[in-house]
Amino acid sequence: MEILRTEHLTKIYGKGDNQVIAVNDVSFSVEQGEFVAIVGSSGSGKSTLLHLLGGVDRPTSGKVFVQGEDVYQMNSDQLAIFRRRQVGLIYQFYNLIPILNVKENITLPCELDGRKVDEERLAELIADLGLSDRVNHLPNQLSGGQQQRVSIGRALINRPAIVLADEPTGNLDSKSSDEIVELLKVSNRKYDQTIIMITHNLEIAKTADRILTMEDGRLVREG
């Protein structure tokens, strides 16, 4: 079942001589439960594309459909709800709240949405992420790999339609990187979680079901 589709997605920054076409007429689709990697050199448009998929940045033209719904036909309130409930974001630098402990950081999306935390789901996620003995720790008491585990938990807690991971291993050593990729694969298999991951690391990309390659804002290869 198709969960995400883009049609002629384009994002242009600036005007005239300063115009930059960051994403240029990109069309593709992703199936429910698929793990897709997007690769390309720096400046190829990968991160911009991810932001367009997640409702973070509006396209200049083109469409994004998630579960059949046209994302950019939503008003700003609807878009904020869509981002909170349907999209889980994982960043390279974790973006954890420094004064919140592990449990509070993971459940933050529920709090922001005024939803009751599913305690069973939370306990299962914390166990899967290997954080059971760290629930009361603050981010500055955790290693980089542990902080990224927390951000994965935060992305998964609301059972989003799609998880978007922007260079999730870019700030980690090779051992922690392997562990994070394995955790993403486990969440993909165990929860049938659809994941779209940006990476510059081809070895990591090869662990995905499919690789999309971007160059100069265009999708140039799929396989």
Per-residue HEC secondary structure of 165-200 comes to: EECCCCCCCHHHHHHHHHHHHHHHHHCCCEEEEECC
For the cut 80, the answer to whether the pLDDT of residue 87 exceeds it is yes
For residue 83, pLDDT over 80 is answered with yes
Which pairing describes strands 2-13 and 61-66: parallel, antiparallel, or unpaired? Answer: antiparallel
Q: What domain range is 10 assigned to?
A: 2-222
Total domains in the chain come to 1
Query: Alpha-carbon distance 133 to 126, whole Å?
Result: 9
Give me the CATH number covering residue 113.
3.40.50.300
pLDDT band at 34 (very low <50, low <70, confident <90, very high): very high
Residue listed under structure tokens 């599913």: 118
In the block, tokens 């079942």 appear at 1
Q: What letter would DSSP give residue 223?
A: -
Residue recorded with tokens 């070895």: 203
Band (pLDDT 50/70/90 cuts) for residue 28 is very high
Rounded distance between C-alpha atoms, residue 125 and residue 84, angstroms: 18
pLDDT of residue 137: 95
Kindly indicate the confidence band of residue 217, based on its pLDDT and cuts at 50, 70 and 90: very high
Q: What is the pLDDT of residue 141?
A: 95
For 125-156, what is each residue's pLDDT tens digit?
Answer: 899 888 999 999 999 999 888 998 899 899 98
- Specify the higher pLDDT residue, 173 or 105: 105
Residue given tokens 């799609």 in the structure block:
162
